[in-house]
A and B are shown apart, each in its own frame.
Chain A
Amino acid sequence: MNNDIFQGYKGDALKVLQQYKVRVWGTATIDTTRGVFEGTVLPRAENDDDQHIVIKIITGYNIGIDVTTIKTMKETGYKKANYKIPEKEFPITPGLPKVKLFGTGGTIASRLDYRTGAVIPAFSPGELYGAVPELADICNLETEKVFAVFSENMGGKQYVSLAKAIGAEIEKGVDGIVIGHGTDTLHHTGAALTFMCQNLPVPVVLVGSQRSSDRPSSDAALNLMHAMKAAGHSDIAEVMVCMFGPTSDEYGLLHKGTRVRKMHSSYRSTFRTIGDTPLAMISRKEITPIKKNYNHRRNDKKVKILPYFSDEVTMLYYSPGMKPDVLDAMVDAGYKGIIFVGTGLGHVNKELYPAIERAHARGVHMFMTLQTIWGYVQMFVYDTGRDMMAKGIIPAGNMLPEVAWVKLSWILGQTNDPEKVKEMMLTPVNDEITLREPYNGYLVYQGGVPEVEEFIKKVHK
């Protein structure tokens, strides 16, 4: 008997199944010291212990049987589950825009993975149409799986292949592009694609979901509809992140790829534009622009694809009392670019100065960003700031730390010339540094304050 018959089982549990010749997906009667149990033996998640066998009982529930209590067991039948999202051919409707969906992994459409006990993505126009038939009213859809990685495993290699894929697709004359993406690093990818795909003629929309589509309250379907709508119908030809506005199933927001950040580990409304307003609100019915200035959709194909990325850039998140050996270690490890995430207006302690000088002497490019997330780096206010600038750290304005990391990586993929690097870093491609912060660019309300409570009650969260 090969291992697949006992999917996921190991150690004692595997021995018991082998001893009684009971397979995964076999229906079994199990006599134990706690009584008799009947059900279908299910695969076991890899990281669970080897002391239990999982069965699905007739009422649909799963239970575990302790192998040490088993007196005897017998396979009485076999019924393998065929887990499949119903696939239907995606209908083509003349007159609707042509949208390409790139799959990268993530939870837009997913199914159970017994290996890990988690969910894995399912993906094809047919599967998507089976799960979200409304998509056919929005656009004519094509899909392509560019790669399949979890969001946290995305990196430079993936950004480069996505940028190239976008270039190729625009060349073919698509009306809009949607990229399905895990949410953890959605905003990193948003920034990377903004730098790599310049002068876009069509919208490129990144979308994910905070709740996997295996649950009825998932935000996946609505996010996907919003994203398709934005890609196919909106006039905004930029790299955008499209996710829930409120946690309610009401409308989505289109965020600039360079100004968006994931701000909550689990909320549906986790993505927020930082230091500015979002580009637009989007519902299934309409797109309501918020920002007046944006890059408009065009009929040409003159996109500039700049698929460069260096893996020699890292970040240093400062903590009080930090010792210079941390920075030294980064430099010794060969990093050519370091994004500092400093306190307040952009500070680190004096103890780091020798290490900063050493890094500068070695030609390491250093930029300062902020732990406060909101606001501008201002290194003239205090002496320490001026000291640091003198030692080679360049303030990066109100560029978000993650965006600065992405941008420096992208630049160092192209040049190593300090002046060129500095100029490119400080010249915004698309609002990664803005000249002004509007009064409504920083809104973090505090619960409990009467007028805030009144507002929360009136406006859907």
Chain B
Amino acid sequence: MQFDPKRNYEDSRKKTGYVPREKATREVYDKYGFMSGLEVHQQLLTREKLFCHCPAGIYNKSDDFNAELIRHMRPTLSELGEYDGTALMEFKTRKEIVYHINNENACTYEIDDTPPFPINRQALEIALEISLLSKLNIVGEVHITRKQYLDGSIPAGFQRTAILGVEGEVQLPHKKIRLIQLSIEEDSCREISDVGHRRVYKTDRLGMPLIETVTYPDCATPDEVKEACDYIRFLNRSTGKVRTGIGAARQDVNVSCKGGTRVEIKGVAHTKWIPGLTHNEMFRQWALLQIKKQLTKKVKDIAGWRVNTVEVVAGTLQKKELLPGNNKIVAINLPGFKGVLSHFTQPGKMFANELSDRLKVIACLEKPNMIHSEELEPLMDEATWDKIKKQLKAGINDAQFIIWGDEADIPTAIETVEERCKMAFDGVPPETRKSLEDGTTIFERVLPGADRMYPDTDSAPIPLQNEYIEELSANLPSDIINRYKQLKKWNVPEDTYTFIFSKNLFPLMERIIIDLQVSPRFLGNFLGHRLKFTLGQYQTAEGFKFTMLYPLFRFLKESGLREELALRMIPELVQHPKMEFDSILNAIKFKRYTMDEITDKIPILIDKFAEGKDTVSETDLINFVMGQLRNMALGNVEMKALSDAITGPRYMDK
């Protein structure tokens, strides 16, 4: 029977047991042995960068730069005398790294032409506060370490980083997540483009103070990973000393399944993407384990497994779009890989993608410069394939991959294909993968190990005296879990918590409730729903601060007005934060009425509603009257009292 890649893809998807996330239950994750941990990055709110005096948080557009420079990165030895695997791989890519420098936000330190200045003490202190909140064991002396990055994201080729504490924990409502460590580090460059052998970065974000909180793989479901991540972010924000906004907090998520390997998904910008990504990664690993089983059955001599290649004469590939021009074309035979290339790995992706992703990163070879024998939509006719298979002396169980490109890149490309195929016999290779918005991931680089660390010979160790740590401990904000419990006790609806914690509104709430006796449940709803809606609905003016809510409620209290009036005032306040509260009342045309003045209108409204109607539903009537009187009443009388009045015997007997 003819081999059908599409059917093979579908069959392998079923065999892997893939279910969409919305259908996956806790049992599914238990069965596949889902395991996940986090590395949560958070920028600190400081005036200057971590190791130089450039301003932090001043960003520029990609085309706005004053100078450009070029570096090539070479792997070096770690402190323990080893070369790091990632480092060697990245050296293979022979990338030219280009930096665009803007004078406003980068100096000669960022480009590694000036040694570091002493560490930013403000940043260190914020990071220590967060370490203490994370219940970590604080080190006695901070040692700055260089962590190698050869992708060019840091011009020095290493990031300066230091551990502040180890072995801590974060309490979630139903679970405790253990922490491995927390480090303070410099943020990296932002990538502008990466095409072929040239990668361009800008240096505005480079060197900004960042912390990284690393958890143990304690999360057992995708939702739990998101919850843990949210809580760590809430904890960071509870200090009020971290940056917010796009890119200010980012996370890497580590995932494995039973029999799989730790794979790191890098740079997840939103926590809401975490469940989908981790779900798919679990199944990708499971699929790779299925492939391993399949291969070990088919291939007898695993240790001796190799690819064989032939050079293809230009013109063999007939289709116009495949014409490779002056490039060298090589066909690679993959013994025993029939049915593997089109094996399901992720939704919409198959094993062949594992090869093509690596080819782009390691050999700078991109689609369309490759085709293979199991494309879902064949790009080349059978006859040409047969000719090439013959040249390769391919067997019936083999698969083929054809690549073309610059002659200099071809040996690395062949090596890359062979290397990745060999890894398939072991199952899941340890990798860092880049997250995509559709919930799938692509290869980014080999997972780096502890070998890429090197002591920073340019920096002296920084002792942390007991008195200093004790002083910091004495002035910490309360734990998120205690705040969670307090909100519960206040009967604040749980759907408001995320907004309250992510905007760090709890301390403000606490003050308003205690000082001004505003109802906690009302205030929770006001913040988590009304304020959230208002911020999304209206243009927030510069100068609006959450702290303005305190004087707002104080004004209402002192003016003898009810707290509900804040619901009408808040859109004005958000748009015109400089306006006096009295003027806001004018702007929303608020007038003071007594209960009697309001209830006096009820008979007319009832008549108006009943006009021309044979029967009148009581609920509709009440809703109508309440609706008409709402603006008059809001702030003047309690709404419950008003509706009681409407339904009272005085009017309803009609």
Binding site for B on A (CB under 8 A): 32-37, 48-49, 51-52, 54, 56-69, 81-86, 111-112, 117-119, 131, 211-218, 221-222, 246-250, 264, 266-268, 447, 453, 456-457, 460-461
A269 to B, closest residue via Cβ = B113
Known: A217-B112, A266-B114. A117 touches B75 (CB 8 A): no
Cβ of A36: which chain B residues have Cβ within 8 Å of it?
137, 167
- CB pairs A–B below 8 angstroms (18 shown): A37-B139, A48-B460, A57-B163, A60-B450, A60-B453, A61-B161, A61-B163, A61-B183, A63-B163, A69-B140, A215-B76, A216-B148, A216-B149, A216-B157, A217-B71, A217-B112, A266-B113, A267-B108
B465 to A, closest residue via Cβ = A66
Encoded as 1 (CB less than 8 Å from any A CB) or 0, chain B from 58 to 100 comes to: 0000000111111111111111110100010000000000000
CB distance from A294 to the nearest CB of B (A): 29
B460 to A, closest residue via Cβ = A48
Known: A32-B140, A52-B141, A57-B166. A117 touches B455 (CB 8 A): yes
Q: How far is the CA of A248 from the CA of B23 in the complex (A)?
A: 54
CB distance from B196 to the nearest CB of A (A): 18
Q: Which of B112, B145, B162 has the most CB of A within 10 A?
A: B112
Binding site for A on B (CB under 8 A): 65-81, 83, 87, 103, 108, 111-115, 136-143, 145-150, 155-158, 161-163, 166-167, 180-181, 183, 214, 449-455, 457, 460-461, 463-466, 469
Q: How far is the CA of A457 from the CA of B98 in the complex (A)?
A: 13
Cβ of B454: which chain A residues have Cβ within 8 Å of it?
112, 214-215
Cβ of A56: which chain B residues have Cβ within 8 Å of it?
79, 453
Instruction: Choose one: A61, A82, A84; the contact of B181 (CB below 8 Å).
Output: A61
Instruction: Choose one: A51, A58, A247; the contact of B69 (CB below 8 Å).
Output: A247
Cβ of B143: which chain A residues have Cβ within 8 Å of it?
54, 61-64
Determine if A213 and B76 form an interchain contact, defined as CB atoms under 8 angstroms apart.
yes
Determine if A216 and B137 form an interchain contact, defined as CB atoms under 8 angstroms apart.
no
Cβ of B108: which chain A residues have Cβ within 8 Å of it?
266-267
CB distance from A262 to the nearest CB of B (A): 14
Instruction: Choose one: A48, A65, A112; the contact of B79 (CB below 8 Å).
Output: A112
Top 7 nearest A-B pairs (CB, nearest first) are A64-B141, A216-B157, A35-B137, A66-B140, A60-B450, A60-B453, A83-B81
Q: How far is the CA of A407 from the CA of B560 in the complex (A)?
A: 92
Cβ of B163: which chain A residues have Cβ within 8 Å of it?
57, 59, 61-63
Determine if B145 and A62 form an interchain contact, defined as CB atoms under 8 angstroms apart.
yes
Determine if A37 and B87 form an interchain contact, defined as CB atoms under 8 angstroms apart.
no
Determine if A246 and B69 form an interchain contact, defined as CB atoms under 8 angstroms apart.
yes
Known: A63-B141, A217-B156. A81 touches B79 (CB 8 A): yes
Instruction: Choose one: A33, A52, A214, A248; the contact of B77 (CB below 8 Å).
Output: A214
Q: Which of B74, B464, B469 has the most CB of A within 10 A?
A: B74
Cβ of A60: which chain B residues have Cβ within 8 Å of it?
78, 145, 147, 449-453
Determine if B463 and A63 form an interchain contact, defined as CB atoms under 8 angstroms apart.
no
Known: A35-B167, A64-B143, A215-B158. A85 touches B77 (CB 8 A): yes
Cβ of A59: which chain B residues have Cβ within 8 Å of it?
163, 180-181, 214, 450
Determine if B76 and A218 form an interchain contact, defined as CB atoms under 8 angstroms apart.
yes
Instruction: Choose one: A81, A221, A457; the contact of B81 (CB below 8 Å).
Output: A81
Determine if B81 and A216 form an interchain contact, defined as CB atoms under 8 angstroms apart.
no
Known: A248-B69, A456-B66. A66 touches B156 (CB 8 A): no
Determine if A65 and B69 form an interchain contact, defined as CB atoms under 8 angstroms apart.
no
Cβ of A33: which chain B residues have Cβ within 8 Å of it?
466
Instruction: Choose one: B65, B140, B149; the contact of A65 (CB below 8 Å).
Output: B140
Determine if A266 and B115 form an interchain contact, defined as CB atoms under 8 angstroms apart.
yes
Determine if A64 and B68 form an interchain contact, defined as CB atoms under 8 angstroms apart.
no
Determine if A247 and B113 form an interchain contact, defined as CB atoms under 8 angstroms apart.
yes
Determine if B81 and A84 form an interchain contact, defined as CB atoms under 8 angstroms apart.
yes
Q: Which of B138, B180, B453, B457 has the most CB of A within 10 A?
A: B457
Determine if A81 and B80 form an interchain contact, defined as CB atoms under 8 angstroms apart.
yes
Instruction: Choose one: A64, A81, A216; the contact of B158 (CB below 8 Å).
Output: A216
Determine if A69 and B466 form an interchain contact, defined as CB atoms under 8 angstroms apart.
yes
Cβ of B78: which chain A residues have Cβ within 8 Å of it?
60
Cβ of B150: which chain A residues have Cβ within 8 Å of it?
216
Q: How far is the CA of A225 from the CA of B445 in the complex (A)?
A: 28
Q: How far is the CA of A214 from the CA of B137 in the complex (A)?
A: 31
Cβ of B140: which chain A residues have Cβ within 8 Å of it?
32, 34, 51-52, 63-67, 69
Cβ of A64: which chain B residues have Cβ within 8 Å of it?
139-143, 461, 463
Q: Which of A36, A62, A117, A211 has the most CB of B within 10 A?
A: A62
Q: How far is the CA of A34 from the CA of B150 in the complex (A)?
A: 35
CB distance from B147 to the nearest CB of A (A): 8
CB distance from A25 to the nearest CB of B (A): 10
CB distance from A272 to the nearest CB of B (A): 15
Cβ of A267: which chain B residues have Cβ within 8 Å of it?
108, 113-114
Determine if B112 and A51 form an interchain contact, defined as CB atoms under 8 angstroms apart.
no
Determine if B457 and A118 form an interchain contact, defined as CB atoms under 8 angstroms apart.
yes
Cβ of B114: which chain A residues have Cβ within 8 Å of it?
266-267
Determine if B461 and A249 form an interchain contact, defined as CB atoms under 8 angstroms apart.
no
Instruction: Choose one: A35, A37, A119; the contact of B457 (CB below 8 Å).
Output: A119
Cβ of A457: which chain B residues have Cβ within 8 Å of it?
65-68
Determine if B137 and A460 form an interchain contact, defined as CB atoms under 8 angstroms apart.
no
Q: How far is the CA of A212 from the CA of B146 in the complex (A)?
A: 13
Cβ of B449: which chain A residues have Cβ within 8 Å of it?
60
Instruction: Choose one: B70, B74, B450, B460; the contact of A218 (CB below 8 Å).
Output: B74
CB distance from B121 to the nearest CB of A (A): 18
Cβ of A268: which chain B residues have Cβ within 8 Å of it?
113
B448 to A, closest residue via Cβ = A60
Q: How far is the CA of A68 from the CA of B146 in the complex (A)?
A: 28
Instruction: Choose one: A84, A215, A247, A266; the contact of B156 (CB below 8 Å).
Output: A215
Cβ of B136: which chain A residues have Cβ within 8 Å of it?
35
Determine if A216 and B156 form an interchain contact, defined as CB atoms under 8 angstroms apart.
yes
B115 to A, closest residue via Cβ = A266
Q: How far is the CA of A213 from the CA of B158 in the complex (A)?
A: 13
Determine if B76 and A247 form an interchain contact, defined as CB atoms under 8 angstroms apart.
no
Cβ of A119: which chain B residues have Cβ within 8 Å of it?
457
Determine if B145 and A249 form an interchain contact, defined as CB atoms under 8 angstroms apart.
no
Cβ of A65: which chain B residues have Cβ within 8 Å of it?
139-141
CB distance from B143 to the nearest CB of A (A): 4
Q: How far is the CA of A67 from the CA of B449 in the complex (A)?
A: 29
Cβ of B138: which chain A residues have Cβ within 8 Å of it?
34-35
Cβ of A54: which chain B residues have Cβ within 8 Å of it?
141, 143, 461
CB distance from A127 to the nearest CB of B (A): 11
CB distance from B550 to the nearest CB of A (A): 37
Cβ of B466: which chain A residues have Cβ within 8 Å of it?
33, 66, 68-69
CB distance from A458 to the nearest CB of B (A): 8
CB distance from A250 to the nearest CB of B (A): 6
A64-B461, A66-B141, A215-B157 given; 16 more Cβ-contact pairs under 8 Å: A36-B167, A48-B461, A52-B461, A61-B143, A61-B145, A61-B162, A64-B139, A85-B77, A112-B455, A214-B457, A215-B156, A216-B148, A217-B155, A248-B71, A266-B113, A460-B69
Cβ of B141: which chain A residues have Cβ within 8 Å of it?
52, 54, 63-66
Q: How far is the CA of A82 from the CA of B150 in the complex (A)?
A: 23
Q: How far is the CA of A460 from the CA of B67 in the complex (A)?
A: 7
Cβ of B147: which chain A residues have Cβ within 8 Å of it?
60
Q: How far is the CA of A264 from the CA of B113 in the complex (A)?
A: 10
Q: How far is the CA of A69 from the CA of B72 in the complex (A)?
A: 44
Determine if B183 and A51 form an interchain contact, defined as CB atoms under 8 angstroms apart.
no
Cβ of B453: which chain A residues have Cβ within 8 Å of it?
56, 60-62
A58 to B, closest residue via Cβ = B450
Instruction: Choose one: B142, B157, B214; the contact of A63 (CB below 8 Å).
Output: B142
CB distance from B359 to the nearest CB of A (A): 23
Determine if A460 and B68 form an interchain contact, defined as CB atoms under 8 angstroms apart.
yes
Cβ of A217: which chain B residues have Cβ within 8 Å of it?
71, 73, 112, 155-158
CB distance from A57 to the nearest CB of B (A): 6
A215 to B, closest residue via Cβ = B157
Cβ of B464: which chain A residues have Cβ within 8 Å of it?
66
CB distance from A301 to the nearest CB of B (A): 37
Q: Which of A119, A246, A461 has the most CB of B within 10 A?
A: A461
Q: How far is the CA of A63 from the CA of B144 in the complex (A)?
A: 9
